[in-house]
Structure 1
Amino acid sequence: MIPESSPEPSLRERKKRRTRGQLRDAAIRLASEHGPGGVTVQDICREVGVSPRTFFNYFDCKEDAFFVWDQQLTRMMLAQLARRPLDEPPMASLRAAIEEVLPAAGADENWPARRRLLAEHPELVGRLAHSLRTSEDLTAAELGRRLGVPAESLHPMLLAGAAMTALRTTLVTWAPRTGVKGLQRHLREAFAEIEAGLPGPS
């Protein structure tokens, strides 16, 4: 069996996470001050002291820096998913893989500012939906590989869609005061609701 917890991240990985966090902090701060349309990638990079090339190592576009879940976190989640035992139920594997990555999302302190941005600038919601759909497609591909079926077939797509819905709902309804442990617990509750067939409010 593969252990539930992953080893401590390397120094290189910690530096990457720190840079990613600094870029995200700067993006949200500038967007809160000037509006998303009043901020450029160059502005964000100038605040952090890195090049645009470095920015695009972490984010596909400026808007992606406003969201807590991005493609780097998706890659981390997929790496965790690939490590799960093949005989484990797919939903259990998905929950465990996402739960491992949540600390990197839950440590972000910009939740109030991010929620204000999404509420005040609804044009960002479309980009968020696109980002999550990309994550969903990549997850379905990994599930298809594990299950030995085409990624575009019904089962892996339903599993990926359910997992991304659980993740999105968890992030939206989580109370940041409960910390990362609370976030992980909230995710487990969301998956439990889905696996039970959504019987009713808990």
Structure 2
Amino acid sequence: MPRTTTPDDAPPPAPEGLRERKKRATRQALQQAAVRLFREHGAISVTVEDICAAAEVSPRTFFNYFAAKEEVLVPWDPQTIAGTPQRVVDRPSAEPLLRVVHVVLGEAIDTAMAAPTWRDQALVLRDHPELVSRVALASRDLELALADGLSRRVGEAQDDAYVRLLAATAVTALRVAIQCWHRADQEADLHDHLDAGFARLARGFAAD
């Protein structure tokens, strides 16, 4: 299957300033420490104080980035969420809306997978499904960001039924793709699962 993005249609990332790079590094350090502790000791027994000690930061710093320890497992950083509406708007004007959300979510996957903790985050969620609720909240934020971009693109209100339905369907396809990827061979490509889900949607949800 073709990739969701290619060098020709993927816009270049905006350069990060020093402050943004430091913030990203701190966020990733906290995630790495937390995920390692979760895998070693189990997520329930690990505290925020444990994570902060391992990352050598204060609890106050931790709560500048995360509202709770489970949020370290969320793959979408705030920059990805914040930039999603504009990425929807910036796609080629003739591109079908289903393709637009497919590509934008593919880009979100690429950004998430670039983080050093991506696969370990996925493994913790696979082994501790009770933690998925926090990730579901982040998926809600991603859905709202998609709806925001779609509403701007089509000139409808963000709570328009079609806009909300398309955004919700796209994020559901992403969630199912991640779940299938969790159960697949370790060499499997998450993009393949995402592409397969959107191909099914494009066929009108017809069965294989």
After TM superposition, the score normalised by the length of structure 2 is 0.76
2:29 match: 22
Equivalent residue in structure 1 for 2:50, among 15, 18, 43:
43
User: Corresponding residue for 1:61?
Assistant: 68
Counterpart CA distance in 2 for 1:16 and 1:59 is: 12
**Which of 90, 100, 105 is matched with 1:93 structurally?**
100
Residues 60-79 of structure 1 deviation map (CA, whole Å, 9 limit, x = unaligned): 43211123345443234334
Which one of the candidate residues 168, 178, 194 is aligned to 2:201?
Answer: 194
Partner residue of 1:167 out of 144, 157, 174? 174
CA distance in structure 1 between the partners assigned to 2:164 and 2:59 by the alignment: 34
- Conserved in 2, the CA contact under 8 Å of 1:118 and 1:125? yes
Change (3 A) 1:28 1:155: same
User: Conserved in 1, the CA contact under 8 Å of 2:87 and 2:104?
Assistant: yes
Identity of aligned residues (%): 38
| SS, match of residue 151 in structure 1 | coil
Q: Of the candidates 9, 15, 18, which is equivalent to residue 10 of structure 1?
A: 15
Q: Provide, for residues 27-85 of structure 1, a one-character-per-residue CA deviation record: whole Å limited to 9, x for no partner.
A: 11112233323333343233223444554454343211123345443234334223223
1:149 maps to what in 2? 156
TM-score by length of 1: 0.78
> Could you tell me which amino acid in structure 1 is paired with residue 167 of structure 2?
A
Partner-residue secondary structure (3-state), 1:38:
coil
**CA–CA distance in 2 between the matches of 1:60 and 1:79?**
26
Whether 1:105 and 2:115 are equivalent positions in the alignment is no
Number of aligned positions between the proteins: 196
Structure-1 residue corresponding to 2:142:
135
Corresponding position of 1:177: 187
Larger RCO (alpha carbons 8 Å, 6+ apart): 2
Q: What are the residue-to-residue correspondences of 1:119-134 with 2, within 5 Å?
A: 119-134=126-141
SS of aligned partner of 2:187 = helix
> Shift of the alpha carbon at 1:21?
2.9
Q: Provide the C-alpha distance between the structure 2 equivalents of 1:61 and 1:147, rounded to a whole number of angstroms.
A: 36
Give unmatched runs, 5+ long, in structure 2: 1-7
Aligned to 2:5: none
Distance in 2 (alpha carbons) for counterparts of 1:130 and 1:11: 27
**Does the Cα contact within 8 Å between 1:30 and 1:39 map onto a contact in 2?**
yes
CA distance in 2, matches of 1:81, 1:45: 36
Q: Is the 8 A contact 1:81 1:94 kept in 2?
A: yes
CA drift at 1:154: 0.9
